[in-house]
Amino acid sequence: MVSTGERPSARGSGDVADLVGRARTGDARAVARLISLVEDASPLLREVMAALVPHTGHAQIVGVTGSPGVGKSTCTSALVTALRTAGKRVGVLAVDPSSPFSGGALLGDRIRMQDHALDDDVFIRSMATRGQLGGLAWSTPQALRVLDAAGCDVVIVETVGVGQSEIEIASLADTTLVLVAPGMGDGIQAAKAGILEIGDIYLVNKADREGADNVRRDLRAMLTPAERADDGWQPPVLKTVASSGEGMDEVAGALARHASWLETSGVLTTRRTRRARAEVEALAVTALRERWGDVGGRSELDDLAAAVAAGETDPYAASDRLLESFAD
């Protein structure tokens, strides 16, 4: 799987320090290798993260979400162009939680991003989670940390598909961009889909289609403070045509305004602490699962599971005993 040319393993502290040092100067190969270490759940990650943490906190993490077909990838690409015009260094992380078997992200998205392939100040990476339950919870913040330390001003996290990932992105991002499009559901459906609570900026994409103004009006009417945690930020609803780049400069401007607001309001610290909380919790759970997995061959968990399967004990009592044995 690991070809020597592309993804050499970093074997010791010297290698890690070297990799981290080169990533901080914006070396694309070093950045790619560090994110590969995250994907592979490398034992070196502990050392890598400790080395990266002091050099993070600069990047604005922007989540992009919306139903399939709404134009997420096109919009991400157009936003990269707008941010580059504004002189920003940009990272893109495309996360595909629905691909446990193939272990890879969708080719189409990669192709769309090739407009930016030759730009040294754009880092683009697809990441898969290898089917590990909850794997996204710790691997996404770690990959974001790599891109942050590499000097990105903005990192866009794009999720493929819908579902649980939308909640996750909302809890990971500093700023959440929600895309809607005319003809893909009226306002009431938007309300049902839960998007009214999670967005900081709304884009009515494909705004050259009929009905865009209605969608915008409905969204604006629904995005009243009463519907949301009244934190003092009124989410703008912008019209865009991502395929032609129309409206993307306004989006870049709204991102900058939201970044300032995050800082002055103190919400930035709240959101970043929440992101770190999810990461630390996921790491602790993963460590516990490993401990339960093999303690001297056959673990206590295996014995407890056999007793539950045989009807000799109930699952809650087994869970209690598992946690007690850990506290010993």
Alpha helices (H) in the chain, listed in sequence order: 13-24, 28-39, 45-52, 72-85, 107-112, 135-149, 164-172, 187-192, 195-198, 212-222, 248-265, 267-293, 300-309, 315-327
Residue 270: Cβ within 10 Å count? 12
Q: Which has the closest alpha carbon to 171: 94, 95, 255, 271?
A: 271
Rounded to whole angstroms, what are the CA distances from 179 to 49, 151, 255?
A: 32, 27, 14
72-80, 91-99, 235-243, 254-262 -> range binding a copy of itself (CB under 8 A): 91-99
Q: Pick the binder of a copy of itself from 289, 290, 295, 298 (CB under 8 A).
A: 289
Q: Which has the closest alpha carbon to 240: 81, 61, 62?
A: 81
* Residues binding a copy of itself: number (CB under 8 A): 68
The contact pattern for a copy of itself, residues 99-118, with x = CB under 8 A and - = no contact, is xxxx----------------
Exposed, middle or buried, 173 (CB in 10 Å: 0-12/13-18/19+)? Answer: buried
Q: Could you say whether residue 288 binds a copy of itself (CB under 8 A)?
A: yes
In whole angstroms, how close is the CB of 15 to a copy of itself at the nearest point? 18
In whole angstroms, how close is the CB of 191 to a copy of itself at the nearest point? 10
The contact pattern for a copy of itself, residues 299-328, with x = CB under 8 A and - = no contact, is --xx-xxx-xx-x-xxxxxxxx-xx--xx-
In whole angstroms, how close is the CB of 273 to a copy of itself at the nearest point? 4
User: Which residues here bind a copy of itself, judged by CB under 8 A?
Assistant: 45-46, 49-50, 52-54, 56-57, 97-102, 131, 133-134, 137-138, 141-142, 161-164, 166-167, 192-194, 269, 272-277, 279-281, 283-285, 287-289, 292, 301-302, 304-306, 308-309, 311, 313-320, 322-323, 326-327
